[in-house]
Amino acid sequence: MANVSRVNGLTPVQHISGAPFNGQTTKMYHAAGTTVTHDLFPGDPVIMSGSGDAKGIPSVVKATLASGNDTCGVIVSIVPDADNLSRTWIDGASAGYVNVCTDPSVIYEIQSDLTLAVTDIGQNCIGIQTSAGSRTTGASGIELDGSEVGTTAGDMFKILGFVQREDNAVGTDVKVLVKINDHQFADNHDGV
């Protein structure tokens, strides 16, 4: 049975210890005009932008999906505002708040844009923006870049295995488990 293509970005599923993800997040701020060309969705990796809102809540922008780039975590949800209580995304040019999974020990599920094999487990990889994301469903447009799987030490993610579910088979559109390699809050972060 072929895998169903469901692009959702990164979804936290568990900690490296095997404990389930407990839903803990950090509220962060996205300033207006900081990433005009990219909307923010749950499942998008973000990076601290070196600033904050007027109350001191740290600012983030969407992380650049390339080798050598780091992240402070992944957006889990969008904080609703008084004008839109059901908001599921933030326009890239607009201000808003997001809840971010900032724990460096969290493992995420992500779909690969190409076919992967079991020999890709343990390899490093980056993400790729395969669609703009959905303003209707709030789904991220980020997948694992199957063409960039290898041993490059500076890549954003490490493949830890394949999701074990009946609807997931090794091959095209496979869902894999990854951890963030260069996390801004990890002890081994190089500050890049």
Q: Does residue 189 fall inside a structural domain? A: no
Q: Does residue 191 fall inside a structural domain? A: no
What pLDDT does 191 receive? 46
Q: Does residue 185 fall inside a structural domain? A: no
The total of structural domains in the chain comes to 1
Q: Does residue 186 fall inside a structural domain? A: no
Closest CA to 153 of 105, 111, 115, 188: 188
Number of H helices, E strands in the chain: 0, 12
- For the chain, the average pLDDT equals 90
Give the C-alpha separation, 178 to 53, whole Å. 31
Q: Does residue 3 fall inside a structural domain? A: no
Task: Work out the pLDDT band at 83, boundaries 50, 70, 90.
Answer: confident
> Does residue 176 contact residue 162 with C-beta atoms inside 8 Å?
yes
Instruction: State both tokens at 9.
Output: 């970005």
Dump pLDDT digits (tens) for 105-151. 999 999 999 999 999 999 999 999 999 899 999 999 999 999 999 88
Q: Does residue 99 fall inside a structural domain? A: yes
> Does residue 123 contact residue 155 with C-beta atoms inside 8 Å?
no
Give the C-alpha separation, 154 to 66, whole Å. 9
Q: Does residue 170 fall inside a structural domain? A: yes
Give the C-alpha separation, 26 to 52, whole Å. 13
Q: Please check the confidence at residue 152 and state whether its pLDDT lies above 90.
A: no
Q: Does residue 187 fall inside a structural domain? A: no
Dump pLDDT digits (tens) for 18-66. 999 999 999 999 998 765 568 999 999 999 998 999 999 999 999 999 8
Does residue 103 or residue 67 have the better pLDDT? 103
> What is the domain range of residue 100?
11-15+22-180
